[in-house]
């Protein structure tokens, strides 16, 4: 099983090594949990039955003074364990961002692009961003982009509107867009984009109130019917936990608690992510 959405923001080993790491976790990302040794990350994966996790940095230096993990830190963690799959993040409004992405993919060995319009402070449909989309498309790496509500401070909700992505989705049909957090609360908009466009995927890393089981039960059976996932989006949804904002095991349990068939669950927890990441080479 693969967790497509984790943030390496509480790694104890990085606190002393990188001077701004703690400030970034506390003030930019806004998380108050204790820093933990890297071993805890693996144990959290183990108890959830997760084999591999996608690590996501966010290059928000321009907008927030510090990055939430850097590409180099992510690459360092990936070098320590094959269980990690690292994504890169670049500031799309920065000159040379496309080249920076190319270097991160080709030289650091990262395998996807992460963007967060709210935390990085840009409009995802702005023409200035297009060179980064072009680069990701040319490099054949997926883009995981924040949609929906963000818990990070000073992040306007409006930046998370899934429909802001419609034009880029249309303009870059070969770039795979993974809309994070299922676009919550705009779940129908995100769902519509995934239904309409072949290059749109959704990750399940949404939890905004109640507990994981209650929240998933509401979103995936009341906000949208479970059958939309089971019948229409079974090849386009990937499991994401948003660890460490939530423990991976709780999100896995919540997903398995839905009325989805074993076959559909297997796709969400493994197959779809493997295809997106190029671990298996098959197009649908």
Partner 1 sequence: MIIKLERIKVQTRKSEEAIDITSKVDEVVQKSGVKNGVVNVMTSHTSSGLLVTEGIPCLEEDILTHFSRLFPEDEDYHHRRYLDYDGRLGFNADAHLKSILGGISCMFPIENGKVVRGSRQTIYFMEYDGPLERTYMVQVLGE
Binding region for partner 1 (CB under 8 A):
12, 29-34, 36-37, 39-40, 43-44, 46-47, 151, 207-214, 244-246, 249-250
Contact criterion met (CB below 8 Å) for 132 and 102: no
Judged by beta carbon, residue 42 or residue 130, the one nearer partner 1 is 42
**Nearby residues of 179 by Cβ (< 8 Å), 6 or more positions away:** 145, 147, 162, 165, 190, 193, 194, 200, 201, 202, 203
Cβ 184 to partner 1, closest distance in Å? 13
Cα maximum dimension of the chain: 49
Judged by beta carbon, residue 208 or residue 263, the one nearer partner 1 is 208
Judged by beta carbon, residue 201 or residue 216, the one nearer partner 1 is 216
Local structure of 136: helix, strand or coil = helix
Contact criterion met (CB below 8 Å) for 105 and 88: yes
Cβ 100 to partner 1, closest distance in Å? 28
Alpha-carbon radius of gyration of the chain: 17
Cβ 283 to partner 1, closest distance in Å? 37
In sequence order, which ranges of 28-129 are alpha helices (DSSP H)?
38-48, 61-64, 71-80, 97-106
Q: CA-to-CA distance for 99 and 74, rounded, in angstroms?
A: 18
Burial class (CB in 10 A: 0-12, 13-18, 19+), 171: middle
Judged by beta carbon, residue 199 or residue 242, the one nearer partner 1 is 242
Whether the link from the prior residue into 244 is cis, omega within 30° of 0, is: yes
Q: CA-to-CA distance for 156 and 147, rounded, in angstroms?
A: 11
Cβ 197 to partner 1, closest distance in Å? 31
Cβ 31 to partner 1, closest distance in Å? 4
Judged by beta carbon, residue 10 or residue 144, the one nearer partner 1 is 10
Contact criterion met (CB below 8 Å) for 234 and 264: yes
Cβ 276 to partner 1, closest distance in Å? 26
Judged by beta carbon, residue 29 or residue 122, the one nearer partner 1 is 29
Cβ 233 to partner 1, closest distance in Å? 25
Judged by beta carbon, residue 44 or residue 191, the one nearer partner 1 is 44
């Amino acid at each position: 099983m693969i967790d497509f959405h984790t943030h390496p923001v509480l790694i104890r080993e990085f606190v002393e090594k990188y001077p701004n790491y703690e400030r970034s976790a506390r003030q930019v990302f806004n998380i108050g949990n204790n820093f933990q040794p890297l071993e805890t990350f693996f144990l959290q994966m183990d108890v959830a039955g997760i084999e591999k996790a996608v690590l996501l940095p966010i290059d928000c230096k321009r907008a927030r003074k510090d990055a939430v993990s850097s590409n180099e830190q992510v690459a360092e963690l990936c070098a320590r364990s094959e269980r990690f799959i690292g994504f890169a993040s670049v500031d799309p409004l920065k000159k040379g961002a496309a080249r920076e992405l190319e270097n991160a993919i080709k030289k650091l060995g990262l395998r996807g692009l992460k963007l967060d319009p709210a935390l990085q402070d840009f409009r995802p449909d702005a023409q200035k961003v297009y060179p980064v989309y072009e680069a990701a498309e040319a490099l054949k790496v997926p883009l995981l982009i924040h949609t929906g509500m963000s818990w990070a401070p000073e992040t306007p909700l409006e930046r998370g509107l899934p429909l802001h992505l419609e034009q880029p989705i249309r303009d870059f049909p070969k770039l795979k867009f993974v809309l994070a957090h299922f676009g919550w609360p705009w779940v129908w908009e995100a769902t519509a984009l995934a239904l309409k466009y072949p290059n749109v995927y959704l990750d399940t890393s949404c939890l905004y109130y109640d507990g994981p089981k209650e929240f998933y039960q509401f979103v995936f059976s009341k906000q949208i019917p479970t059958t939309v996932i089971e019948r229409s989006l079974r090849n386009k949804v990937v499991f994401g936990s948003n660890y460490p904002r939530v423990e991976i095991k709780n999100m896995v349990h919540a997903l398995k608690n839905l009325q989805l068939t074993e076959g559909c669950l297997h796709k969400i927890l493994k197959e779809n992510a493997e295809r997106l990441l190029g671990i298996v080479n098959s197009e649908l």
